[in-house]
């Protein structure tokens, strides 16, 4: 059996030859040098391993979970991430959103027509004397407005066609969770569109378009439902615009306390552009398009350029209404970051699914629950106090914040102090209920403002990088 001789190289690198005539002093020096070389080598190895881990973790990208009540803006934030990291793919997909945008528009129109016709009866009587201007009271529905409503009647068929296109179902049933949820007319609530989880509706529509294109159908000769819808909308564009501008319509909406322009999927101020037969959605249209998310969705975004090129982001988007929240927990132990959305404009609104609950109260309770969750103790939190623009419009229109939030006393009914107040409330709940100390990254946001949201996303990227470095014990 070979034995180790004194001249044999030891296991350190570079190999050290040990002289036979080595003195005790030289031996000590050599052993010291070897220990130092090993320390340096181990440090380099550790650094290589850390770099490898960071690289693999960052290449894999972060996993983000979007949480918040229904209509808080989760899917809108997801679209912002898609636009930020993969603008080309976003642009390519824009066309798929056209029927959703058209459906949002058409449902608003049908909603107004139903509302006007149903209120017509009592309209004259309901107007106070001083508001009975001849322009309003002497022009009851029987005249111009009634004719307008009659001309707009084909939009009911368009609504049905669009639902059919989006659900991929020949006979869509109302409230069917497997397809588009066509809610019955409800004068107290804005029309909404719910589409089941997954990308089925996008695929159904894009497949339909592709097969038409391969048959050489141009927009003009397109005899599909989609082509027919476009032609009807183009023909009725001016009438829709006239309906929205109509004095009686505006009066009925105001007296019914319905602010359509503050509600999701509002496109009535863009009618002329959106009803053109060759309309192609712009990114800001796609951001405003409203589809209720049903069931969790996993989205993968691959960065198209820049230093982040090819990096993959996984974003989980969930449904926010109460019935959907049980599905959130399955993602809790697999995410790096949670973006929680709370719409600041909800202070004077109630939940669609439970009209006894104020939206702001619901957001605060939800936030408290998420903050106190032990599984999430090590997860980084980003808070979006969203819909800043709608909050601003509401306060400017005279809605008193203190009438709904009684603890807001002796402060101005203005956007800045109100937003500051809400921020303080959310931050202190986080401090109070987090199982252990954790940094919070709060932002006042308007998720339909792509530019502002893009710069927030850049800051979130930094947070994620720091988090990954911390996880690999670098900092």
Ligand X SMILES: Nc1nc2c(ncn2[C@@H]2O[C@H](COP(=O)(O)OP(=O)(O)OP(=O)(O)O)[C@@H](O)[C@H]2O)c(=O)[nH]1
Q: What sign results for the dihedral spanned by CA atoms 285, 287, 292, 295?
A: positive
150 is in an annotated binding site: no
Q: How far is the CB of 427 from ligand X (least distance, A)?
A: 20
- The yes or no reply on residue 237 touching ligand X (CB under 6 A) is no
Q: How far is CA 150 from CA 113, 231, 236, 239, 471, in A?
A: 9, 18, 11, 10, 64
**Which residues have C-beta within 8 Å of that of residue 361, sequence separation ≥ 6?**
none
| DSSP H helices in 173-224 | 200-214
- The yes or no reply on residue 281 touching ligand X (CB under 6 A) is no
- The yes or no reply on residue 264 touching ligand X (CB under 6 A) is yes
386 is in an annotated binding site: yes
387 is in an annotated binding site: yes
Closest by Cα among 297, 110, 271 to 195: 297
Beta carbon nearer to Mg ion, 293 or 363? 293
Alpha-carbon distance 130 to 251, whole Å? Answer: 13
- The yes or no reply on residue 387 touching ligand X (CB under 6 A) is yes
292 is in an annotated binding site: yes
CB 48: neighbour CB atoms within 10 A?
10
Alpha-carbon distance 198 to 461, whole Å? Answer: 26
- The yes or no reply on residue 75 touching Mg ion (CB under 5 A) is yes
Longest dimension (CA), the chain: 120
- The yes or no reply on residue 467 touching ligand X (CB under 6 A) is no
Q: Which of 82, 181, 293, 445 binds Mg ion (CB under 5 A)?
A: 293
374 is in an annotated binding site: no
State the DSSP H helix or E strand holding residue 196, giving kind and residue range, or none if neither.
strand 193-196
287 is in an annotated binding site: yes
Beta carbon nearer to ligand X, 195 or 204? 195
Say how many CA atoms lie within 13 Å of 56 toward its Cβ: 7
Alpha-carbon distance 353 to 347, whole Å? Answer: 16
- String marking each residue 71-100 x if it binds ligand X according to CB under 6 A: xxxxxx------------------------
Contact between 457 and 43 under an 8 Å Cβ cutoff? The reply is no
Beta carbon nearer to Mg ion, 66 or 162? 66
DSSP 8-state secondary structure symbol assigned to residue 185 = P
- String marking each residue 339-358 x if it binds ligand X according to CB under 6 A: --------------------
Beta carbon nearer to ligand X, 34 or 449? 449
Alpha-carbon distance 50 to 56, whole Å? Answer: 10
- The yes or no reply on residue 65 touching ligand X (CB under 6 A) is no
Alpha-carbon distance 293 to 100, whole Å? Answer: 13
Q: How far is CA 76 from CA 70, 82, 83, 292, 318, in A?
A: 12, 10, 10, 11, 12
Beta carbon nearer to ligand X, 141 or 460? 460
Q: How far is the CB of 324 from Mg ion (least distance, A)?
A: 9
- The yes or no reply on residue 181 touching ligand X (CB under 6 A) is no
- The yes or no reply on residue 386 touching Mg ion (CB under 5 A) is no
Beta carbon nearer to ligand X, 61 or 68? 68
- The yes or no reply on residue 443 touching ligand X (CB under 6 A) is no
389 is in an annotated binding site: yes
- The yes or no reply on residue 159 touching ligand X (CB under 6 A) is no
Beta carbon nearer to Mg ion, 293 or 445? 293
37 is in an annotated binding site: no
453 is in an annotated binding site: no
Beta carbon nearer to ligand X, 292 or 450? 292
Binding residues for Mg ion, per CB under 5 A?
A: 74-75, 293
> Which residues participate in the annotated binding site for Mg(2+)?
293
Binding residues for ligand X, per CB under 6 A?
A: 68, 70-76, 264-265, 287-288, 290, 292-293, 319-321, 386-387, 389-390, 446-448
């Amino acid at each position: 059996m070979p034995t180790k001789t004194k001249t044999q190289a030891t296991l350190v690198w570079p190999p050290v030859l040990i002289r036979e005539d080595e003195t005790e002093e030289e031996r000590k020096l050599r052993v010291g040098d070897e220990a130092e070389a090993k320390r340096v080598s181990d440090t380099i190895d550790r650094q290589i391993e850390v770099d490898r881990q960071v690289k693999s973790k960052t290449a894999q990208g972060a996993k983000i979970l979007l949480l918040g009540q229904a209509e808080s803006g989760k899917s809108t934030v997801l679209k912002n991430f898609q636009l930020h990291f993969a603008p080309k793919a976003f642009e390519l997909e824009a066309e798929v959103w056209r029927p959703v945008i058209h459906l949002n528009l058409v449902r608003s129109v049908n909603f107004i027509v139903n509302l006007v016709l149903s209120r017509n009866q009592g309209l004259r009587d309901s107007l106070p004397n001083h508001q009975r201007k001849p322009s309003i009271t002497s022009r009851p529905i029987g005249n111009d407005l009634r004719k307008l409503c009659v001309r707009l009647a084909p939009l009911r068929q368009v609504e049905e066609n669009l639902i059919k296109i989006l659900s991929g179902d020949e006979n869509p049933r109302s409230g069917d969770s497997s397809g588009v949820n066509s809610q019955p007319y409800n004068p107290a609530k804005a029309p909404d569109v719910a589409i089941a989880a997954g990308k089925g509706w996008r695929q159904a529509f894009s497949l339909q378009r592709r097969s038409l294109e391969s048959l050489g159908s141009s927009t003009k000769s397109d005899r599909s439902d989609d082509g027919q819808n476009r032609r009807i909308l183009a023909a009725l564009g001016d009438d829709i615009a006239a309906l929205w501008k109509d004095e009686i319509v505006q009066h009925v909406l105001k007296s019914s306390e319905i602010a359509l322009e503050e509600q999701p999927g509002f496109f009535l101020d863009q009618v002329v552009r959106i009803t053109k037969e060759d309309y192609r959605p712009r990114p800001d249209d796609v951001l405003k398009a409203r589809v209720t998310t049903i069931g969790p969705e996993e989205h993968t975004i691959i960065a198209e350029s820049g230093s982040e090129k090819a990096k993959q982001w996984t974003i989980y988007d969930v449904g926010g209404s109460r019935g959907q929240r049980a599905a959130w927990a399955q993602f809790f132990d697999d995410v790096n970051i949670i973006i929680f959305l709370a719409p600041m404009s909800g202070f004077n609104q109630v939940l669609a699914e439970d009209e006894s609950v104020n939206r702001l109260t619901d957001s605060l309770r939800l936030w408290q629950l998420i903050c106190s969750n032990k599984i999430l103790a090590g997860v980084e939190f980003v808070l979006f106090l969203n819909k800043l623009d709608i909050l601003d419009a509401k306060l400017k229109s005279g809605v008193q914040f203190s009438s709904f939030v009684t603890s807001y006393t002796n402060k101005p009914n203005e956007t800045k102090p109100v937003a500051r107040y809400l921020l303080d409330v959310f931050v202190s709940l986080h401090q109070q209920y987090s199982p252990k100390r954790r940094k919070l990254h709060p932002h006042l946001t308007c998720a339909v403002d792509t530019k502002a949201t893009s710069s927030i996303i850049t800051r979130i990227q930094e947070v994620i990088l720091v988090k990954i470095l911390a996880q690999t014990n670098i900092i």
